[in-house]
Amino acid sequence: MTVHTSQLPWEPTPVTGVTVKELAHYSEGTAKLIRLAPGAEYPLHRHPQRTEYVYVLAGTATLTVADDTHDAQVGDFTLMPADTPHALANYTTFEALLWVGAIMHSSQPE
């Protein structure tokens, strides 16, 4: 399956300055593009049943994972383990583009 991202609209989120393109959504995980406008801040939150990861495609994003806050630049990959508080922000004057994925964790043993 090929997703032609240029043909997908940017969808708003509840957070001002944060838009998303859903690329894949399965019970085992998701993939999406997230666009952070300058000054956008996605607040601290956690996901008890999923690990998320972020790969920076353009710009610089300030990522918080637990007690660590760092600027992630193009080519940087950050892992956000399940049930760990994390946040995304863009404190620059340029847009940031992120590929964000999630791995769902089952409560059932395999």
The domain that holds 21 is classified in CATH as 2.60.120.10
This prediction's pTM: 0.92
Quote the domain boundaries for residue 20.
Answer: 16-104
Residue 59 lies in a domain: yes
Which helix (H) or strand (E) covers residue 68, if one does? Answer: strand 68-73
Instruction: Identify whether the C-beta of residue 97 lies closer than 8 Å to the C-beta of residue 61.
Output: no
In a domain? residue 20 = yes
Is residue 3 situated within a structural domain? no
* Residue 110, pLDDT score: 45
C-alpha to C-alpha distance for 96 and 68, rounded to whole angstroms: 20
Plot region of 91 (φ>0 → left; ψ -120 to 50 → alpha; else → beta): alpha
Q: pLDDT in tens for each of the 110 residues of the chain?
A: 898 999 999 999 999 999 999 999 998 999 999 999 999 999 999 999 999 999 999 999 999 999 999 999 999 999 999 999 999 999 999 999 999 999 998 765 44
Judging by DSSP bridges, how do beta strands 50-58 and 60-65 pair with one another?
unpaired
Angle at 40 between CA 62 and CA 96, to 5 degrees: 60
pLDDT on residue 3: 87
